Structure 1
Amino acid sequence: MKKGGLFIVVSIFSVAVFAQSKYSNTEAFAPFFYPSAGNEYRSAAGEPGPKYWQNRADYNITSTLDTTSHTVTAKVEILYTNNSPDNLKFLWLQTDQNIYRKDSRATATTTAAGGRWANSTFTEGDVISSISIEEGGKKYTPQYNTADTRTQVWLNNPLKAGGGKLKLTIEYSFKVPEYGSDRMGRLNTRNGWIYEIAQWFPRMAVYDDVQGWNLLPYLGQGEFYLEYGDINFSVTAPANMIIVGSGELLNPAECFTAEETKRYAAAKNSDQTVMIRSADEIGKSGVSAKKGTTTWRFKIQNARDVAWGASKAFVLDGAKINLPSGKKSLALSAYPVESMGTNGWQRSTEMVKGAIEFYSKKLFEFPYPAATNVAGTVGGMEYPGIVFCSYKSMGADLWGVTDHEFGHTWFPMIVGSNERKYAWMDEGFNTFINDLSTEAFNNGEFKQQSFFGDPTNEQMVRMVFNDKMDIMLTEPDVIQQMSLGVAAYLKPSLMLHALRNAVLGEKRFDAAFREYISRWAFKHPTPWDFFRTMENVGGEDLAWFWRGWVFNDWKIDQAVQGVKYKNSVPANGATITIENLQQMPMPVTVLIKESNGKEQTINLPVEIWQRSAIYSFDVPTTSPISSVTIDPNKKMYDWDRSNNTWTGK
């Protein structure tokens, strides 16, 4: 049999064994994507509209930590501003400590299932002793009702639209759980308890133009959606404890000794880590020798939350953070002696500084006066200006968790998306930027060929695009626990890498991504605002992309179907046929190698899939083609790479 005849037989055979394509061009490129047009609140271009509004909550909190009973007693004053166009007859608050009650919804739905957010012991939650309202110079006691982790407060008179204000004062207490759903709690170390205190004061629920009151309960896996404002808070505790908190410490001279105050000031001006309280001083001198109680005062502006840590076991060090504008911030690390070791927590401040300086230059400047990393029982959790990371973390693990938690400063502390509904918009976006910072930190010291990020890792691709995996657009508390790492973290990160590397290119993607952050800094974007911004700034209609990645569990599977020479003569050129076997369309890169050593790379846009699952294109050739390979640089998360290459054999 002649060589040409053999080629024909092989070509026919290869087509015969190809899988039936699942691709629908009309579904992938359907004309209607956005559920509604832009309006005066949110523009069609993805920007806040001319009449965009959001309500505001400013807080003043005084609290006391009782280390004998492990109880926090506090009073919070909330100045609430109603900027909405609606008169409000009642207010809703998040009372998250109620998650730890034995009769909570989380206990019923999460504890029985076990896992990271399950409660091993219970508390009485937020014990409210009084609520009062002051408006227009008049003060009264309102009716209120608590439903699980939400508390509704009825007003005597509706709070007026367009700027109405009132002051809501709540006195309350709660016992600090030892294990607080891996978001807060306390750890007993050789030198005393470490308290990590969060979700610790009643916070205003968000009232927005999308849903009105946002009232999903706190069940553990879903995180938070909160209003912005200025927050002043104080913590009174035994004087031999160090307290670190969100924002700026206003009275260091009252809290530290004179020598420690001097070191604290030196850290603010040092690019190298300065020891403020050393391990050798714990239990002997400095703060450890102080008697009575001390009140630590903190302030943070334009923030949605605050948290704090307290312990007499803390080693404390710090260094200066250099910001692009020329402003300075302060990196701090508080950790027990158990956390010191090879590449241990004594490197934390270096890591905090590195992460925040990178993101400030790459994305948007860090907005807070300090960034504090606290070692304790919490594996990893983020709050404005402060994060909690595992006291056991060392080396690459310490860098990874520190970088990730501080990456959350940008999503969702600056860009205030609804974590309770869209985990992928904070966890996934953050995981994506973590890849960039890890590559940059200390010349890639902790960069590894990750199991999760390698497109050639068949096991990873099969896990991410498995039919049983929850889609990205699934509420966090609905996602199966085993799927959360993929649906909320990994897959959206891969999506952004694909958008940057294969669709928009780095220049257009980076410009659009930065613009999204700038537009929605300290505001409340929806997924649609993100989609519209990336399209309008990036210059592409990406409905096909969002459909495949966000709204469905579509797969990528591009295959080479065959090669034909014109008039069976290689020197006349060839027609190459490729096929999209799965539902997700993506641009295609094809590498063609000839037997004489010549190579050519063809880049085909996604529009080749607009009319059909099969696409043929001509290439000039001078000798027989030895191979045709789709995605030669292995950037695509291809479901089946066995059909990516055709060979002339």
Structure 2
Amino acid sequence: MKSIFFLVALITLTSTHSTLAQRKGYWQQHVDYKIDVDVDEKNYQYDGTMTLKYTNNSGQPLSKVYFHLYFNAFQPGSMMDYRLSNIADPDSRMTTNIGTKENPKWESRIAKLTPEQIGYQKIKTVSMNGKSTDFKTDGTLLEVTLPEAIADGTTASFELIWTAQVPEQIRRTGRNSKEGVALSMAQWYPKMAHFDEFGWHLDEYVAREFVAPFGNFDVSIHLNKNYIVGASGVLQNPSEVKGYQHKAKIKTENNKTTWHYKAENIHDFVWAADPKFVVDSTKNKNGTTLYTVYIPTNDSIVANWKQALGLAADFFDMCGQKFGPYPWPTYTIIQGGDGGMEYGTATLVTGGRNIKSLVGVIFHEAAHSWYQHLLGINETVDEWFDEGFTSYVEELGMQQLFYKKGALETNPMIDAYRAYYKLALSGKEEPMSLLADYYNTNYGYSNQAYNKGAVLAEQLGYIIGKSNLDKTFLKFYDIWKFKHPTPNDFKRVAEDISGINLKWYFNLFVNTTRHIDYGIQQATADHVTLQNKSNLAMPIDVLIEYEDGTKELFYIPLREMRGEKPAEDYTIYQNVKRTILEDWNWTVPTYTFPVSKVPSKIWIDPTQRLADIESSDNYYERK
């Protein structure tokens, strides 16, 4: 069975390159990395060599290419350094308040790093197809001018030699974390920048999000023999290293062990290492091997990690059914970094948490295996599409698996809705279409990306019907796995599944800060009048309970939808007559419809999926 699973996984991974996406003319670049690094763990430095095969499918020749050198952000005077000093609410993990609590003044810790503490990636040589290139480093970017253009449909081979120092300041990557992890190695290699239909994505690193082309990785790490490594991909020599096999014969050379990993069709590779690490593993029903690599600080921490591993296996099973099968053979949950961050087939998370927090962060980062790693979302541009949908998946998992109560009967994302309402009323909301780096506040970014993004997904189910939403997720997976879809691609799938036009919804909810606000204006013995008090029109569900105890659900489509959602199977709607009314035009502020009996109670959207910022007038009770 094991060999069959790996064969199926290999076919799934390799066949995706020849599968056409729904959007005509879609193309994407491809990379193959072969990386070898020799680590000096005492000085937190390493020497690296890399062969990169880069395939140009863009339809045009490329005379330049670019690489990200993320470690260079951890230097005084970098853009990340200045961003920390000038944003209103900087990340406390990288700043010190040198003012008062009432009048804080934030100082970047990066500004205080010494030459021995900074991070850097210094490129020594870059060649293409054996020919030297001209290159220059500009902040966290390496610009390479090619000796000859890479023609469309051809593959170029790059050779890079570099040296690097791991920064002392932890931001996802770094050394000696607060929890005692020696090396958290994220964004540690010269990473080919992403080129797509929108051009090169050359974002300076200021500690936010990433995007990269899909490809294969072959990575060898030479490290002190006392260390244990957790990493992306599949370990090729478990019998020669510590921690993965009970009777391993540790193979060393010059007091170092070589850790050899391979991964197919991912777009980021991470690893972490510490002498105190232990390794545990399990398999889910689909045959995926899940690893935990962590420091067993005490019995409570060990118990939490063991419980979290079992729940992670259940979570992968749940996600596979609801969002599409997980295609890779492994997933590794590694203690490291400064919070939680997703990478190809692995994550770094802080581990000294209570069980709810630990499971929550693992579920969130594991959900990124779909949004953003299977579906290569550009999270520098569409952060809500990545983080919001991941938060949606995480919350479903917490309710069904951790709390063991299933999804809430009405709105499982109610906490995200409440956070969004607070943001909408705070005066700090900005359009959700902003580039991830450019929000005025971290508060605004976090609530837009994580909470409003989750609201968008749940409210979409309100618009097209929750069964259609489930179908949309699965069809989107089938069409766009191992590609780089945009929000419009998801919208088009939802429209195809539901037959409903969604241009108005995605445009207004993503690109503006308009809010939804409906109310019951009047209720009499023969009619009900509703009012749209906002500038964002929506379809409306109205549940009426009459004086004789019977109920009726009135559904008012929005004219812009050019369609209707099907009846939904919520318990509160069962055995309730459903009446579909005429469309409500968004240019008309009120809507009146007749009733056949005297209403005693009226609810606008009793499922609470309509993101109405002022719901006090959404309920009426006859006195």
Same structural fold, with TM-score higher than 0.5 when normalized by the shorter chain: yes
Structure 1, 401-410 or 66-75: larger mean CA deviation: 66-75
Q: Distance in 1 between matches of 2:252 and 2:306?
A: 23
Task: Return the match for 1:195 from 169, 183, 199.
Answer: 183
1:170 matches 2:160 = yes
Query: Tell me, what secondary structure is at the counterpart of 1:582?
Result: coil
Contact 2:34–2:218 (8 Å) recurs in 1:
yes
| Correspondence for 1:120 | 109
Q: Report percent identity of matched pairs.
A: 25
Q: Please give the secondary structure, in 2, of the residue aligned with 1:400.
A: helix
Matches within 5 A, 1:243-642: 243-256=229-242, 261-262=245-246, 292-323=255-286, 328-338=287-297, 340-341=299-300, 343-441=303-401, 444=404, 453-454=413-414, 461-464=421-424, 466-479=426-439, 480-500=441-461, 502-565=462-525, 574-607=526-559, 608-610=583-585, 611-621=587-597, 624-642=598-616
Deviation at 1:65, TM superposition (A): 2.0
1:230-280 deviation digits (Å, cap 9, x = unpaired): 1000111111211111110000111138xx52589xxxxxxxxxxxxxxxx
Match of residue 17 from structure 2: none
Contact 1:93 1:151 in 2 (8 A): yes
Q: SS of 1:643's equivalent? A: coil
Give the TM-score normalised by the residue count of structure 2: 0.83
How many residue pairs get aligned? The number is: 558
Higher radius of gyration, 1 or 2: 1
| Structure 1 residues 428-449: Cα deviation after superposition (integer angstroms, max 9, x where no partner) | 1111111222222256279899
For 2:193, the equivalent position in structure 1 comes to 205
- The one-letter code matched in structure 1 to 2:390 is N
Superposed displacement of residue 82, structure 1: 1.1
Provide the rounded CA distance (Å) in 2 between the counterparts of 1:288 and 1:400: 37
Paired AA for residue 219 in structure 1: V
Q: Is the 8 A contact 1:183 1:380 kept in 2?
A: no
CA contact (8 A) 2:431 2:510 kept: yes
Aligned counterpart in structure 1 of residue 40 of structure 2, from 47, 66, 80: 66
Asked whether the 8 Å contact 2:227–2:273 carries over to 1, the reply is: yes
1:341–1:172 CA distance, 2 compared to 1 (3 A): same
1:85–1:196 Cα change, 3 Å: same
Give the drift of 1:468: 2.9
Q: Does the C-alpha gap of structure 1 residues 418 and 554 become closer, same or farther in structure 2, counting only changes over 3 Å?
A: same
Q: Which runs of 5+ in 2 are unaligned?
A: 1-19, 95-107, 560-582
Aligned counterparts of 1:517 and 1:561: Cα–Cα separation in 2: 43
The residue identity in structure 2 corresponding to 1:207 is: F
Q: Secondary structure at the match of 2:436?
A: coil
436-445 or 104-113, larger mean C-alpha shift: 436-445
- Helix, strand or coil at the partner of 1:490: helix
Checking the alignment, whether the CA contact within 8 Å between 2:125 and 2:161 is kept in structure 1 is: yes
- Quick one: distance in 2 between partners of 1:545 and 1:437? 26
SS at match of 2:470: helix
Aligned-partner Cα distance in 2 for 1:100–1:450: 46
User: Which amino acid counterpart does residue 493 of structure 1 have in structure 2?
Assistant: A
- CA gap of 1:249–1:558, structure 2 versus 1, over 3 A, is same
TM-score by length of 1: 0.80
Unaligned runs of 5+ in 1: 1-45, 265-285, 566-573
Q: Distance in 2 between matches of 1:124 and 1:168?
A: 27
Q: Equivalent residue of 1:589, what SS?
A: strand
Structure-2 separation of matches of 1:445 and 1:614: 39
Cα distance between partner residues in 2 of 1:235 and 1:457? 45
2:600 pairs with 1:648: no
Q: Aligned to 2:438, what secondary structure does the other structure show?
A: coil
In 2: Cα distance, 1:316 partner to 1:291 partner: 25
For 2:11, the equivalent position in structure 1 comes to none
CA contact (8 A) 1:456 1:634 kept: no
Match of 1:179, SS state, is coil
Q: Which moved more, 1:287-296 or 1:532-541?
A: 287-296
* Alignment-derived partner of residue 82 in structure 2: 108
Question: Higher mean Cα deviation, 577-586 or 229-238?
Answer: 577-586
Deviations, residues 397-440 of structure 1 (Å, cap 9, x unaligned): 11100000011111111111111111111101111111222222
- C-alpha deviations, 1:134-177, integer Å up to 9, x for none? 42xxx22211011111111111111111x222211111122212
Contact 2:119 2:167 in 1 (8 A): no
The amino acid across from 1:297 in the alignment is H
1:331–1:614 Cα change, 3 Å: same
Secondary structure of 2:601 counterpart: strand
Given candidates 223, 228, 233, the residue that maps to 2:219 is 233
CA contact (8 A) 1:559 1:578 kept: yes
- Counterpart residue type for residue 64 of structure 1: D
Q: Secondary structure, in 3 states, of the residue corresponding to 2:608?
A: coil
**Which residue in 2 is equivalent to 1:153?**
144
User: Are the equivalent residues in 2 in contact too, given 1:339–1:392 (CA < 8 A)?
Assistant: no
Query: Within 2, Cα distance between the matches of 1:101 and 1:616?
Result: 63
Matched residue type, 2:91: G
Distance (whole Å) between structure 2 residues aligned to residue 585 and residue 239 of structure 1: 63
Q: Which amino acid aligns with 1:333?
A: T
Alpha-carbon distance in 1 for matches of 2:173, 2:433: 23
Q: Which has the higher contact order (CA 8 A, sep 6+)?
A: 1
The one of 186, 205, 209 equivalent to 1:218 is: 205
Please, which of 22, 44, 59 is the counterpart of residue 85 of structure 1?
A: 59
Q: Find the residue that maps to 1:640 and give its secondary structure.
A: coil
1:280 corresponding residue in structure 2:
none
Seen in structure 2, the aligned counterparts of structure 1 residues 171 and 117 have a Cα distance that, compared at 3 Å, is farther
Match of 1:570 in 2: none
1:87 Cα shift?
A: 0.9
Shift in CA distance, 425/204, structure 1 to aligned 2, threshold 3 Å: same
